[in-house]
Structure 1
Amino acid sequence: MPLKPFKTIGIGVAFSPNLKANLYEAARLSLYFEAKLVMIHIGEQSEEKLNKLKLILSAFNKDNLEYEVVFKSGNPVDAILSTAKEKSFDLLIIGAAKRENFVKYYVGSIARKITRQAKCSLLLLINPSIERLPCRHIVVNGLEDPRTEQTIASAFYVASKLNAEQLTIVEEIKQNQIDIKVDDDKSLRHANIIKARISNRETSRINHIIEELPKEHTNNIVIKSQPIFGTQGYSIGHYAQIKRADLLVMNAPTKMTFWDRLFPHDIEHILTELPTDVLIIQ
């Protein structure tokens, strides 16, 4: 993993009530990651809009925040994705929508299309704040997948930059790996032995990944490993929710097919109901 995985951060800008909170979150992250911030507005350019953005970000002048504003017209999904490509975004920040009358967040249709098509990493924010809220606990997937090593490395990098206190690596293990019908004490013991073996194997695999990471990213944080048997995507989202994690870090989805959308799995479970802020590593 490069020393600075997020050199350019992008965010779509709408002049909505959440504008200041969204920009404060994006600006803080840009400073933590020593990155340039690129704001994309779908609409006509005007001095009034530029001055409003400049006024909000003036709070970060003392920190020498580097930023740029891009004005685009046309389809929001196409405009944001094309800008992400032109400006070589490493990270794109997207705000989640809140369900009416519920304390639940989800990814709207435009954001979901961007999430499925973006070639860069994505940060889905459920509750942007003007005042910085500490990021104490990060949960990251530990799936047995070629992309997982990069995802775990990114999670530790983010944890070190945000001064997180704990990072939990969750290994979601499919129930069919046990493949035993439990109908008496003997079969239950056998199933538990297999579960323990799988858990030990997974923990050993994860420990090997951690050993290869830069020590400055792993030294000052409590590291936990948690095997979970269940449905991928849903299980880790539920775990992050009940543990009140501040950030969930996941592998980017593989190429979606029609059947993937019809029968959601992995990241689709997360997008349907966000348990917390979600960082998707591309």
Structure 2
Amino acid sequence: MSLKPFKSIGIGVAFSPNLKANLFEAARLSVFFGSKLFLIHVGEASEDKRNMLGAILKSFEKDHLDFEVVFKTGDPVNVILSTSEEKKIDLLILGAVQRERFLKYYVGSIARKITRQAKCSILLLIKPSVERIPCQHIVVNGLKDPKTEQTITSAFYVAKKLKAKKITIVEEINEQEVSVKVNDNKSLRKATIIKERIELRENSRIKEIISHIPEEYTKNKTVKLQPIFGKKGYSIGHYAQISRADLLVMNAPTKMTFWDRLFPHDIEHILTELPTDVLILQ
């Protein structure tokens, strides 16, 4: 694993009421990860805009924040995606939208298009803040997939850099794996035994992955393995919400086809209602 997965971070910059909070979140992460920060503004360049951005980020001078402002006109989705590729951005930060009168967050249409098409990792923020809110608990998917080892390793890296103490690895298991109709004590016992065997199998698979991660990332961490029987994407999102996780870390989908859009992908469940900040790793 690259011990520095995020060498460069990008964020789309709109001169909106959330500007300062978004910039502070992006700048803090750039400092924590030792990354260069690219501020991408869809629009004409101007000295006033440059000065405004520089003034907001002035307090990060002492942290030696390295940032560059990119001005580009055009369609917001195309501008952000093309700039991310040109500047070799590893992590793109996008904001979520709060539903009117509800404490629920979802991904707006522009951010959703970017999330589906980006070739880099994506961080979706639900409540950007000028003051840092400590990240204490990270939930990460442990599903059986070629990308999962990298995802879990990256989650431990993020936990170390953000000083999070607790990591929960959620193994989402399809209910069909049990496939026993429970209608009496005997069938209940059989279903329970099958579930226990699956949990043991999944836990040993995850422990094997953790054993490959450098000790400097795993020490002083509370690690919990959580098997959940249910619908992929929905189960982990619900778990992240009820366990009050500060960050949910997920694999990026392998490919987004026409059928994935018709039948929601596990990531699509998360985008429809964000349980917390979500990091989707490529």
Q: How high is the TM-score relative to the length of structure 2?
A: 0.99
The one-letter code sitting in structure 1 at the alignment partner of 2:45 is: Q
The RMSD of aligned alpha carbons is 0.6
Q: 1:179 & 1:165 partners in 2: Cα distance? A: 37
SS where residue 255 of structure 1 aligns? coil
The one-letter code sitting in structure 2 at the alignment partner of 1:53 is: L
The one-letter code sitting in structure 1 at the alignment partner of 2:236 is: I
Tell me, which stretches of 5 or more residues in structure 2 are unaligned? none
* Correspondence for 2:54: 54
Deviation for aligned residue 1:254 = 2.2
Deviation for aligned residue 1:177 = 0.5
* Correspondence for 2:77: 77
Q: 2:279 & 2:180 partners in 1: Cα distance? A: 35
* Correspondence for 1:209: 209
Tell me, which stretches of 5 or more residues in structure 1 are unaligned? none
* Correspondence for 1:138: 138
The one-letter code sitting in structure 1 at the alignment partner of 2:168 is: T
SS where residue 206 of structure 2 aligns? helix
Identity between Structure 1 and Structure 2 (%): 72
Write out per-residue CA displacement over residues 60-93 of structure 1, whole angstroms, 9 at most, x where no aligned residue. 0111100000001111111100000000011000
* Correspondence for 1:37: 37
* Correspondence for 1:276: 276
Q: 1:112 & 1:57 partners in 2: Cα distance? A: 27
* Correspondence for 2:265: 265
The one-letter code sitting in structure 1 at the alignment partner of 2:82 is: S
Q: How does 1:4-23 map to 2 (within 5 A)?
A: 4-23=4-23
Deviation for aligned residue 1:165 = 1.2
Deviation for aligned residue 1:260 = 1.4
The one-letter code sitting in structure 2 at the alignment partner of 1:90 is: D
Q: How high is the TM-score relative to the length of structure 1?
A: 0.99
Write out per-residue CA displacement over residues 156-194 of structure 1, whole angstroms, 9 at most, x where no aligned residue. 000000010100000000011011111111101100100
* Correspondence for 2:244: 244
Q: 1:229 & 1:134 partners in 2: Cα distance? A: 30
Write out per-residue CA displacement over residues 97-138 of structure 1, whole angstroms, 9 at most, x where no aligned residue. 110111000001110000000000000000000000000000
SS where residue 226 of structure 2 aligns? strand
The one-letter code sitting in structure 2 at the alignment partner of 1:150 is: Q
Q: 1:152 & 1:3 partners in 2: Cα distance? A: 13
Q: 1:63 & 1:36 partners in 2: Cα distance? A: 12
Write out per-residue CA displacement over residues 10-29 of structure 1, whole angstroms, 9 at most, x where no aligned residue. 00000000000000000000
Runs (4+) of structure 1 exceeding 3 A deviation are none
